[in-house]
Structure 1
């Protein structure tokens, strides 16, 4: 089964138009965060979500803009130090941010709330970090019980690769947050998967790593930055694209490689134009590259 294409709004231009275009093309997921688009992303997405209530949305808690930080400080849910840092997993803040996300997105119930780069909270202190994640998960469990959140997860850039936490540890922390029950609401991990950040791909091709662990636990895996912030199409030339899959553009070849990685269920692309979205849609519609082919590709890219 091919991975689904989802709209990622981190580097997305003209978010309102991009969302309407993606939904019209069949996108089932939109990913965002309160700090995207200088703090305006969620408000800009609200009309498209209102017009298409079946489209699911994942948003985050962790990073915030200076303006959001000032509001949170005024609401008494952040300390001055956390407000100045621009990132927090403090339970009161997470609870407050979820309420703000719901209001801005126009959704009584959010499909997914992700802790945004939780490794930022306690760098170098695994014990403190895990405690902070567990406490934030406890808030998310409360919000799920209240019907405000359907599920939650973690959106990380380096936490899994640097072993600040593992998928197994996240599952255990979610179980603790749910009161020792197995019926927790941890359902998603989001991490970069690309031909630049290949570690998750290489690990998955050898039956290990976070993607395999997530798939084994039945978690949704959202692959972020498949084009590495738009840099990959300038790195991958047409010869390499043809090696990956003849007839594809460099961007399409990169997206197909990410979609073919075992365990990936969603590929986030910040496609702002109709042509970019169509190009990405055509890429994920291709037959997946098998394990042997993916190993050939990663071996070529890893060679000096």
Structure 2
């Protein structure tokens, strides 16, 4: 396997950070053993709220990975979190040069943006004015995907498609040139005023 993700570790020890950090470190140690045997190439952390709720940070995760590996040669390679026009906090923080996306990029980790269409709800919420601000001519889904893909630090977008045409539309959107940071700031400002 290329990647095994520890999913929502913050739910394991609500309110007990010491136990949470021990559990993450111990799990990373087990995953390091799996890397050593050749069963996996690397591991990551997938979370819905772990970074937002201050349960952990990228520097903390990389520190725990170093402890688990017994040095700097760990195999923590990715994080996954929601990034979308609904989940704007990661985008806003990245534009300000802070937050988990920037920290992951600085640590050399892949960042997988999950829920870029917010479970499909964004498609119904995005109107022509917002599409035109993002990039005229795109569909609502394409505009949302392009905005997420343009966020500094995002390396991968997790997309599910209900048909081949939806998949091709998503691929077309992600082949578009990314938006510059000035346009992302403008989009964030418009959405914050709504």
Aligned to 1:245: 135
TM-score for the superposition, normalised by structure 2: 0.98
- Of 179, 203, 219, which residue of structure 1 is paired with 2:93? 203
1:238 Cα deviation (Å)? 2.0
Cα displacement string for residues 54-76 of structure 1 (whole angstroms, at most 9, x for unaligned residues) = xxxxxxxxxxxxxxxxxxxxxxx
Aligned to 1:226: 116
Cα displacement string for residues 151-171 of structure 1 (whole angstroms, at most 9, x for unaligned residues) = 001000000011100000000
Cα displacement string for residues 198-226 of structure 1 (whole angstroms, at most 9, x for unaligned residues) = 00000000100000000011101110000
1:301 Cα deviation (Å)? 0.2
Cα displacement string for residues 65-106 of structure 1 (whole angstroms, at most 9, x for unaligned residues) = xxxxxxxxxxxxxxxxxxxxxxxxxxxxxxxxxxxxxxxxxx
- Of 273, 283, 287, which residue of structure 1 is paired with 2:163? 273
SS of residue matched to 1:150 = coil
Aligned to 1:212: 102
Question: In 1, distance between residues paired with 2:187 and 2:42?
Answer: 35
TM-score for the superposition, normalised by structure 1: 0.63
Q: Which runs of 4+ in 1 moved over 4 A?
A: none
1:243 Cα deviation (Å)? 1.5
RMSD: 0.7
1:244 Cα deviation (Å)? 1.1
Aligned to 2:26: 135
Which protein shows a greater Rg?
A: 1
Unaligned runs of 5+ in 2: none
Count of aligned pairs: 194
Unaligned runs of 5+ in 1: 1-109
